[in-house]
């Protein structure tokens, strides 16, 4: 009888102790679980700064506000050395030769020799009146390139007696070759420019070719 009672008490104590230990273990597990959960949540809320820096795209500097750009300043049309003559220029008129083997040679030689004296002579008299009229220059200022030299080195005329090659001593050394074309109009020989005046500068070339040589 006593043995049965002892046995029952022993079982009750063992069960009580087991339940107490089990509760303690469950409590520890619960606390640890909460702690680990908190750490995990903390890791999720506060990720690794290095990983974030690698994952995030690099920040671009703020774009500067572009101010309206002003038009690019362009250089004025560069003009070659030239002579301007007004229609009412009171200078000395030139005497134009009559057609003949030497007519074009005389006109061309006289024209180049007269350029340095353009303040004293009416050089428009050398140009074909039809050219001046075609380009509206008969009663207006004319502007044409200046050879820059009056020292004639050599001069030759072609077989047609209307094309002249003239060689001038160039400033600074060397020589320049000019090819000039003449025409006959109303009994006189004139210089006939090949091209119209430049549309930007209004300057025309009295010659059809200009070339610098040694």
Put simply, whether the predicted model's pTM sits higher than 0.85 gets the answer no
SS3 94: coil
Model pLDDT for residues 38-74, shown as the tens digit of each residue: 544 444 444 555 544 455 555 666 665 554 444 443 4
Strand partners, 16: none
Angle at 80 between CA 114 and CA 182, to 5 degrees: 45
pLDDT tens digits, 136-152 = 999 999 999 999 876 89
Residue 185: phi, psi to the nearest 5?
-145, 125
């Amino acid at each position: 009888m006593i043995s049965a009672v002892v046995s029952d008490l022993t079982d009750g104590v063992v069960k009580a102790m087991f339940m107490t230990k089990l509760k303690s273990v469950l409590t520890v597990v619960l606390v640890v679980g909460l702690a680990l959960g908190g750490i995990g949540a903390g890791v999720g809320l506060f990720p690794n700064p290095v990983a974030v820096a690698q994952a995030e795209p690099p920040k671009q500097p703020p774009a500067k506000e572009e101010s309206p750009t002003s038009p690019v300043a362009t250089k004025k049309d560069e003009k070659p050395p030239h002579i301007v003559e007004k229609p009412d220029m009171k200078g000395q008129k030139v005497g134009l030769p009559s057609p003949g083997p030497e007519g074009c040679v005389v006109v061309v030689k006289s024209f180049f020799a007269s350029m340095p004296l353009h303040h004293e002579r009416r050089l428009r008299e050398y140009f074909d009146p039809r050219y001046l009229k075609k380009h509206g220059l008969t009663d207006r200022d004319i502007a044409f390139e200046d050879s820059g030299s009056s020292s004639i080195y050599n001069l030759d005329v072609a077989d047609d007696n209307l094309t002249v090659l003239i060689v001038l001593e160039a400033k600074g050394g060397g020589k320049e070759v000019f090819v000039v074309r003449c025409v006959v109009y109303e009994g006189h020989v004139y210089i006939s420019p090949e091209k119209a005046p430049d549309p930007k500068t209004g300057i025309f070339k009295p010659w059809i070719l200009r070339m610098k040589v040694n």
